[in-house]
Structure 1
């Protein structure tokens, strides 16, 4: 299996406290013919930016879908760069604190309301009352 050539990030949800993204890997550039361009895009994880309104600190989470033989170094590297660019915080420490967690939740399609799906990913990392406001 080829490693991913690049990564893209697709926002699922945004409010004043939380921003949730799909981390997508793009690969298989050599697998093409006249009907197919050869690119496959797969969800390989989730990125969450959470603003703790009590401390006004930004917390960054990277949830990686656990898969055998997958190398996570590049995924983590590019996701950290993406989150640092998305951050509105002026504090450098807010752009550099990351918690990396492996998950077995792999979903390709999500429909509204997103609350239950996001809760299943973040579990206890984000306070329940913040997640209850996702509707």
Structure 2
């Protein structure tokens, strides 16, 4: 099973209705020398925090489909991250998660980022939210 020491989150996109992050798995902290800290970082998924027209927050977690991956750990840490990032006043908004799998790898993403985000989120969020 693919194990990661911890997880990091890198924001790709932010506007008034949507935040989009990479979920990064980090491990191998003991394999280092004076020029390299030894950590390997791998994109394991994506997070989308969306505020709909009713003002409710919707949280989407997209996990990159790969065999022998500890999805439970990724989901647990990602939920904690979303709870810390959330500005929602309604506690239920922080617990509203939709989890799905994707085959889209985001190792190199170039502007405009909206095209990449649309390919990941598909129809989960209205297309009008992401303007080119």
Q: Tell me whether the two structures share a fold, i.e. TM-score over 0.5.
A: yes
Residues 2 and 103 of structure 1: CA distance in aligned 2, closer, same or farther (over 3 Å): closer
Q: 2:108 matched to 1:109?
A: yes
Counterpart for residue 14 of structure 2: 14
Whether the 8 Å contact between 1:60 and 1:98 is mirrored in structure 2 is yes
Moved more, 86-95 or 22-31: 22-31
Residues 2 and 102 of structure 1: CA distance in aligned 2, closer, same or farther (over 3 Å): closer
Flag structure 1 segments of 5+ consecutive residues without an equivalent: none
Q: Structure 2 matches for 1:1-135, cutoff 5 A?
A: 3-33=3-33, 35-53=35-53, 55-131=54-130, 133=131, 135=132
Flag structure 2 segments of 5+ consecutive residues without an equivalent: none
SS in 1 for 2:46: strand
**What TM-score, normalized by structure 1, do the two folds share?**
0.91
- Alignment length (residue pairs): 132
CA RMSD of aligned residues (A): 1.4
**Deviation for aligned residue 1:2:** 5.4
**Deviation for aligned residue 1:4:** 0.4
